[in-house]
Structure 1
Amino acid sequence: MGWRRTGRYMVHRVGRMPGSPYGIAAGLACGAAVSFTPFIGLHFLLAALLAWMLGASVFASAVGTVVGNPWTFPAIWIATYRLGRNLLGMEGSAARAEWLTMQVLADSPGQLLLPMAVGGLILGTIAWFATFLLTHRLIAGYQAARARRCRSKANGTRANGTGANGTRIAGNGSSGAGQKV
């Protein structure tokens, strides 16, 4: 399965999620925002909790955590760490990959986790709004178009107002019912 096909499939799956456009978009945004926190093992739980608090889709929040993945985490971690250090006014040398070990993290978590948490809060908030604004309108449009297609199928009409045999259906603005197109 190619990337384009996978992407289209995911768009359809998200659009068909049960719930309002707000609930789905806010859930996706919660998952994306939580991906910017340094608490890797807790992303699903934190996203679900945030979605629940906002009245959003908990399932969509789990899908939204896909923003944090092995390809994006290095960039996210560097950005959150640097932003957090700048906001906290931390001086001295920044963390280097050589000394970012579990032992260093256990001995002095404030040197690494605090800047990442502060930076993650800011970048996560930006990610929440960006994700929500991008997805809300798209989901609303997708759901409206899908509802129109479902109504057309239920009425036996196509999207262009014709029946299965090519005749216009009465009540759709045509001059007469049953005329061959």
Structure 2
Amino acid sequence: MFKRRKKKHILAVGREYIWPAAGWSRVFSYLRHRLARIPGTPYAIAAGFACGAAVSFTPFIGLHFLLAALLAWIIGGNILTSAMGTVVGNPWTFPFIWIAIYHVGCWLLGMPTTDDLLGQIYQTLDDYSLMEILSAPMMTLGPFLQSIILPMFVGGLIIGSMVWIVFYWVLEKIVREYKHNRYLKRSAAALMRREIKKGSNQDGAE
């Protein structure tokens, strides 16, 4: 009954994912209200989302949802908001994230950097088939893991930790204020209903 009469083309779906029709500001506004309405303490909601955002700064694409949920579970965060937090890592932000964590990691490890990080990543993925990687992972990906993934992992740990702190600090305040204001509104509405009911009973008694 509620399905679209005409299904979206696969290209349209992909375009929506990269650039929503409503605009990113509308998406962020929706996420803010959606986060604040989720049952749970401000700590759990904010910590869960921060886990998803922080995990987005690791090179383990495809495992972000799982890693975010695991991290949120360990620190008592909300599993649902941890999944929502992974939206920080998207096709628009991944190139910048990868370059940032790679250079930070190389700086910390004292390793030389490459001027074409993204090109080297794509070239490595093109050079080997899935069967070659699975049959001899260290032979095919060993140098790549050491020169690219290792510094990205180290840099991701540092930047991801800072990202966690920033998102938690901001969202905890937003969620706490939203829930407090919502509680005040509900309390005022309940008080008004009681006053109306009390007045009606008095009028009936007279």
Equivalent residue number for residue 164 of structure 2: 128
Q: Which of these residues, 21, 40, 43, is aligned with residue 61 of structure 2?
A: 40
The answer (yes or no) to whether the contact 2:53–2:167 under 8 Å persists in 1 is yes
Structure ranking higher on relative contact order (CA contacts 8 Å, 6+ apart): 2
- Aligned-pair distance for 1:99? 2.9
Q: How big is the shift at 1:150?
A: 1.6
Q: 1:2 aligns with which of 2, 9, 22?
A: 22
Equivalent AA in structure 2 for residue 119 of structure 1: G
Residue 16 of structure 1 aligns with which residue? Answer: 37
In the TM superposition, residue 152 of structure 1 has moved relative to its aligned partner by 2.0
Describe how 1:55-66 pairs up with structure 2 within 5 A.
Answer: 55-66=76-87
2-side partners of 1:59 and 1:20: how far apart? 13
State the Cα distance separating 1:55 from its structure 2 match.
0.5
Contact 2:99 2:117 in 1 (8 A): no
Are 2:175 and 1:139 aligned? yes
Residues 96 and 12 of structure 1: is their aligned pair in 2 closer, same or farther, counting only changes over 3 Å?
Answer: closer
- Cα deviation for residue 8 of structure 1 reads 2.5
Partner of 1:149: 185
Question: Identical aligned pairs, as a percentage?
Answer: 47
Letter in 1 for 2:119: E
Offset of 1:107 from its aligned partner? 4.5
RMSD between aligned residues: 2.3
1:173 match: none
Change (3 A) 1:96 1:57: closer
Could you tell me which residue of structure 1 aligns to residue 13 of structure 2? none
Specify which of 147, 151, 159 is matched with residue 115 of structure 1.
151
**Residues 35-65 of structure 1: CA deviation (Å, up to 9, x unaligned):** 0000011000000000000011011111111
- CA offsets, 1:48-90, max 9 Å, x none? 0000000110111111111101100000000000110111101
Instruction: Name the TM-score, length of structure 2 as normaliser.
Output: 0.71
Does residue 84 of structure 1 match 2:120? no
Work out the number of aligned pairs and report it: 161
Look up the match of 2:91.
Answer: 70
Q: SS at the partner of 1:41? A: coil
Segments of 5+ residues of structure 2 without an aligned counterpart are 1-20, 129-139, 200-206
- Residue 32 of structure 1 aligns to which amino acid in structure 2? A
* Larger proportion of helix: 2
AA matched with 2:183? A
Where does the alignment leave 5 or more consecutive residues of structure 1 unmatched?
158-162, 171-181
Deviation at 1:95, TM superposition (A): 4.7
- Counterparts of 1:148 and 1:26 in 2: how far apart (Å)? 24
CA distance 1:92–1:140, shift in 2 (3 Å): closer
2:71 to 50, 65, 75: 50
Equivalent residue in structure 1 for 2:141, among 106, 121, 125 = 106
